[in-house]
Amino acid sequence: MSPPEILIVEDNPKNLKLVRDVLTHAGYQVVEAPTAEVGLELAAERPPDLVLMDLQLPGMGGMEALQVLKLGARTAAVPVVALTAFAMDDDRNRALAAGFDGYLAKPVSPRTLREEVDRFLQPSEESHV
Ligand code: MN
């Protein structure tokens, strides 16, 4: 069985690297997109098991991309977790109200990231090799 696949849509290379390193180390398979447009294309081709979606992106924003995912027949059931630089309570409420399944404030701590992702997925044992 192949490990669960997580699509990360994030335009900041530093944040992307952190998230990728933590999730790869945890045994997940990671697919990356620097824009919502690329992310939506990848998700439509092959729906991932989870999406981590930055809210502030060049071009289409994360909120709009979420709506596209939730309207897509093949992606409607995929959980989408918001990544945002704003750690305000308002932002968290706004993300959840918009339909995100979870929320992570940047800078993301590895532990919080693992906890949030593990709410939705379990990495497969053999993927640690
Ligand atoms: Mn961004």
Report pLDDT for 102.
Answer: 94
3 Cα: distance to centroid of ligand 1 (angstroms): 27
122 Cα: distance to centroid of ligand 1 (angstroms): 27
Q: Collapse the DSSP code of 86 into the 3-class scheme (helix H, G, I; strand E, B; otherwise coil) and give the result.
A: coil
Backbone dihedral region for residue 53 (phi beyond 0: left; psi -120 to 50: alpha; all else: beta) = beta
32 Cα: distance to centroid of ligand 1 (angstroms): 13
* Closest residue by Cα to residue 9 from 77, 46, 45, 60: 60
Could you give the CA distance from residue 80 to residue 128 in angstroms, rounded to a whole number?
24
126 Cα: distance to centroid of ligand 1 (angstroms): 33
CB atoms within 10 A of CB 105: 17
pTM of the full structure: 0.91
Report pLDDT for 65.
Answer: 98
Q: Residues 43-101: pLDDT tens digits?
A: 999 999 999 999 999 999 999 999 999 999 999 999 999 998 766 667 788 888 999 99
Q: Any idea what DSSP says for residue 74?
A: T
- Mean pLDDT on 108-125: 88
Could you give the CA distance from residue 95 to residue 63 in angstroms, rounded to a whole number?
8
